Amino acid sequence: MFGGSPGLATARTLAYGCAMATEILTFSDDQAEAFDRVAAELFGMGIDLAEAVLSPRAEGKASVLAVVGKAGSGKTMLLASLYRALKAAGVEVVSADYEGRRRKDRRTLAVLAPTNKAASVLRLRGVPATTIHRILYTPVYDPQYEKIAEWLAGQAPRPAVEGLTEIALDRAYAFYQQVSSIPGALAAAGLRGSDFISGWKRREEPLDVGFVDESSMLDERQLEDLREIFPTLVLFGDPAQLAPVGASGEMVFDKLAESRRLVLHRIHRQAEDNPILDLAHALGDERLGFEEFEAMVHAASKKDDRVVWAERVDSDLMARSPVLVWRNVTRIKLIAAFRAAQGAPPAALLAGEPLICDGIELPLKHRKKRIDLEARGLIKGAQVIYLGPGQRDGFARLHVVGAEDPQVSAASIIKIERPDEEEPFIPSAARMGAAFLHGAAVTIHKAQGSQWEEVQVFAPDLYAAAQAGRSEAGMPLWKRLAYVAITRAEKRLYWVVRNRLALPKRALTVEDLKASPVLALQDASQAD
**10-residue averages of pLDDT along the chain (528 residues):** 50 50 62 93 94 87 93 90 93 74 78 83 84 76 82 86 88 84 80 69 81 90 89 93 70 90 75 83 92 97 96 95 95 96 91 92 71 77 91 90 83 90 80 90 89 94 95 87 94 96 92 57 34
CA nearest 40: which of 11, 15, 19? 11
DSSP class of residue 235? E
Q: Which residues contact 353 (CB under 8 A, 6 or more apart)?
A: 319, 339, 342, 344, 385, 386, 438, 440, 508
| Identity at 442, one-letter amino acid code | V
Quote the pLDDT of residue 513.
85
Quote the pLDDT of residue 288.
95
Separation of alpha carbons 227 and 371, rounded Å: 21
Strand ranges, E, within 297-353: 307-310, 313-314, 323-325
Q: Is 98 left (phi over 0), alpha (psi -120 to 50) or beta?
A: beta
Quote the pLDDT of residue 365.
63
Q: Which uninterrupted H or E stretch holds 282?
A: helix 275-282
Q: Is 417 left (phi over 0), alpha (psi -120 to 50) or beta?
A: beta
Quote the pLDDT of residue 427.
79
Helix (H, G, I), strand (E, B) or coil at 330: helix
> What is the separation of C-alpha 393 from the centre of its chain, rounded to a whole number of angstroms?
31
Confirm if 43 and 243 have CB atoms less than 8 A apart.
Answer: no
Quote the pLDDT of residue 330.
96
Q: Which residues pair with 434 in a beta bridge?
A: 360, 412
| Identity at 325, one-letter amino acid code | V
Distances (CA, A) of 504 to 19, 147, 322: 40, 50, 14
Separation of alpha carbons 487 and 366, rounded Å: 39
Q: Which ranges of 384-470 does DSSP label H, i.e. alpha helix?
A: 444-447, 459-468
Distances (CA, A) of 451 to 117, 173, 305, 408, 444: 7, 30, 19, 22, 12
Quote the pLDDT of residue 242.
83
Give per-residue pLDDT as tens, 363-408.
766 666 777 777 778 888 889 999 999 988 889 999 998 777 788 8
Separation of alpha carbons 60 and 82, rounded Å: 24
